Amino acid sequence: MKKEELPFVVDLHEKVAVVTGGGGVICSCLSQALAACGAKVAVLDRSLDKADALAKQIVADGGKAKAYLGNVLDKASLHQAHEEILKDFGPADILLNGAGGNSPLATCADEKVTVEDLDSDTKNFFNLEESGFQFVFNLNILGTLLPSQEFASDMAKRKSGSILNISSMNAFRPLTKIPAYSAAKAGVSNFTQWLAVALSDLNIRVNAIAPGFFSTTQNKALLWNEDGTPTKRTGKILAATPMGRFGKVEELIGATLFLLDEKSASFVTGVVLPIDGGFNAYSGV
The whole-angstrom separation of Cα 134 and Cα 216 is: 23
If binding is defined by CB under 6 A, does position 50 make contact with ligand NAD?
yes
> In sequence order, which residues have a C-beta less than 8 Å from that of residue 113 and are 6 or more positions away?
124, 125, 126
CA 32 to chain centre: 15
Name the active-site residue from 133, 135, 181, 214: 181
282 tagged catalytic: no
Site string for ligand NAD, 138-177 (x = CB under 6 A): -x---x----------------------x-x---------
Site string for ligand NAD, 198-227 (x = CB under 6 A): -------------x-xx-xxxx--------
* Residues linked to residue 42 through DSSP beta bridges, in sequence order: 18, 66
If binding is defined by CB under 6 A, does position 192 make contact with ligand NAD?
no
Q: By CB under 6 A, which span of 70-78, 107-115, 153-161, 193-201 interacts with ligand NAD?
A: 70-78
Q: By CB under 6 A, which span of 17-25, 57-65, 113-121, 227-235 interacts with ligand NAD?
A: 17-25
The whole-angstrom separation of Cα 14 and Cα 38 is: 7
Cβ proximity of 43 and 66 under 8 Å = yes
State in angstroms the smallest separation of the CB of 235 from ligand NAD.
17
The whole-angstrom separation of Cα 185 and Cα 178 is: 11
Whichever of 19 and 124 has its CB closer to ligand NAD, that residue is 19
Cβ proximity of 1 and 59 under 8 Å = no
* Residues linked to residue 214 through DSSP beta bridges, in sequence order: 247
* Residues linked to residue 68 through DSSP beta bridges, in sequence order: 44
If binding is defined by CB under 6 A, does position 100 make contact with ligand NAD?
yes
State in angstroms the smallest separation of the CB of 23 from ligand NAD.
4
Neighbours of 53 (CB within 10 A): 14
Neighbours of 267 (CB within 10 A): 5
Cβ proximity of 74 and 145 under 8 Å = no
If binding is defined by CB under 6 A, does position 272 make contact with ligand NAD?
no
If binding is defined by CB under 6 A, does position 72 make contact with ligand NAD?
yes
- Collapse the DSSP code of 226 into the 3-class scheme (helix H, G, I; strand E, B; otherwise coil) and give the result: coil
Task: Name the phi and psi angles at 85, rounded to 5.
Answer: -65, -40
Site string for ligand NAD, 226-265 (x = CB under 6 A): ----------------------------------------
Whichever of 124 and 274 has its CB closer to ligand NAD, that residue is 274
If binding is defined by CB under 6 A, does position 96 make contact with ligand NAD?
no
Instruction: List the catalytic residues.
Output: 181
Binding residues (CB under 6 A) for ligand NAD: these are 20-21, 23-27, 45-47, 50, 70-73, 98-101, 139, 143, 166, 168, 211, 213-214, 216-219
